[in-house]
Amino acid sequence: MTSQDVVVRPERAEDQEAVRDVHAQAFGDGERVPTLVDTLRAAKAALAPSSLVATVDERVVGHVMLSACRLDALPRLVDVVSLSPLGVLPEFQGQGIGTRLVAAALAEADRRGIPLVFLEGSPHYYGKRGFADATASAFRPPTLRCPPGAFQVAKLSSYEEWMTGTFVYSDTFWALDCVGLRGERLEAAMS
């Protein structure tokens, strides 16, 4: 497989089962992440979610989602997004597909005028893809279960210096217990 074999495009309705399979295999935690994607896709939010897939020979092999969240800044709430989840089928991992999905997601968020993209994950992985430790930029994580460095932010072109405060996930993340890193997710994020 070469990088030309990978196509990143918006998710289509007919991709939804394949996207569920990507996350079930990539995360191996049963239905939690596939259910998160389904619920975020259907949620009413200030910002419509963006859902991108990576395909090889028209087979969905990766997926990333940007979903509406908020930044509780002192002057006012700011509409921001969370990059979560990002998944690639195990047999396609380590081939740059995740990197391409992250880049496409950041470009999409920037095109939409979103100032900040947040995530919880490996500083080693995401630090090479445009993200930095959010706490070092005076952002407060939504939970105490974010280990040092795992709560990260990408500042995009519409970001302004006054935009600092507490990151707030949408209710969907809380209802499905997808906030904060635990157990194997914590170990994987820090490796």
Q: Are 168 and 78 in contact (CB under 8 A)?
A: no
CA distances from 149 to 35, 155, 167, 177, 191 (A): 27, 16, 15, 21, 11
**Cα gap 160→89, rounded to integer Å:** 36
Task: State pLDDT tens for residues 104-145.
Answer: 999 999 999 999 999 999 999 999 999 999 999 999 998 887
CATH number, residue 56: 3.40.630.30
SS3 per-residue string spanning 80-96: EEEEEEEEECHHHCCCC
- Kindly give the interhelix angle for 16-27 and 32-42, rounded to the nearest 10 degrees: 140
Task: Look up the domain containing 129 and give its range.
Answer: 3-190
What are 79-98's pLDDT values in tens digits?
Answer: 999 999 999 999 999 999 99
Q: How many domains does the chain have?
A: 1
